[in-house]
Amino acid sequence: MCGRFSLTTPLEELVKQYLIDEFVEEWQPRYNIAPSQSILSLISHNGKRRAGTITWGLVPHWAELSKWKPLINARSETLLDKPSFKSLVHSRRMVIFADGFYEWKKENSAKVPVRFQLKNEAPFVFAGLWDRNGEVTTSTILTTEANSLVGDVHERMPVMLTNREDIEKWLNTEEYSFEQAASILKPLTPERMKGYQVSSIVNSPKHDTSECIVPV
């Protein structure tokens, strides 16, 4: 599961790190990104990497917008089994920029928010898929079985990509088939990550300030 995340990294750093050719949108630091909101994404088209915003919550091209519940996550193990995703894995792969994500740990009757990020606090990307329904373009974040660090809080975690080879393999649908790219859809090793408790203000998407990422 991935239901909330952050992206506070300056645009200049993202452009340099991810070799972005076209940056079509501005972006302000976000500390508590929620479903149905705009997220910053990257696709590869005709050999160029294009970054821009897209709505989080996938609505398939064949679905009726008014009756469809947007899909914020997709299980990577069953992509080829689901009508919503099986055609997208071949030509509509994308990544989504992030520098941390939240999960909620059950402690008695309470749910305690925990933020996970890389140990070096560098940005990373989630593997994702996108689709277009009329004039509406939407996306979903792929999940996998949780590693031992995240697993203490939740049984699932987003697919996090951190090296250039994996990112290129997922983005470049012209050179890499889904069968070739599917090997990257696995948990990041726990030794590369850290997690810490944050304030319960992140429980509400109305709160989107730096206070959301401060350790408690």
The structural domains of the chain, ordered by start, are 5-213 (3.90.1680.10)
User: Mind listing the pLDDT tens digit for each residue in 59-73?
Assistant: 999 999 889 999 999
pLDDT band at 25 (very low <50, low <70, confident <90, very high): low
The pTM of the full predicted model, rounded to 2 decimals, is 0.96
Q: SS3 for 156?
A: strand
8 Å CB contact between 139 and 58: yes
> Catalytic one among 2, 25, 165, 211?
2
Q: What is the mean pLDDT of residues 114-126?
A: 98
User: Mind listing the pLDDT tens digit for each residue in 47-104?
Assistant: 899 999 999 999 999 999 889 999 999 999 999 999 999 999 999 999 999 999 999 9
Q: SS3 for 63?
A: coil
> Catalytic one among 25, 103, 175, 211?
103
Is 211 a residue of the active site?
no
- Rounded to the nearest integer, the mean pLDDT of the chain is 95
Q: What is the mean pLDDT of residues 185-204?
A: 97
8 Å CB contact between 99 and 2: no
Helices (H), the chain: 11-17, 88-91, 164-171, 178-181
Residue 24 has pLDDT above 70, yes or no: no
Is 212 a residue of the active site?
no
**Per-residue tokens: 69:** 């519940």
| Percentage of the chain exceeding pLDDT 90 | 87
* Sequence-distant (≥ 6) Cβ neighbours of residue 114 within 8 angstroms: 102, 103, 104, 105, 153, 195, 196, 197, 198
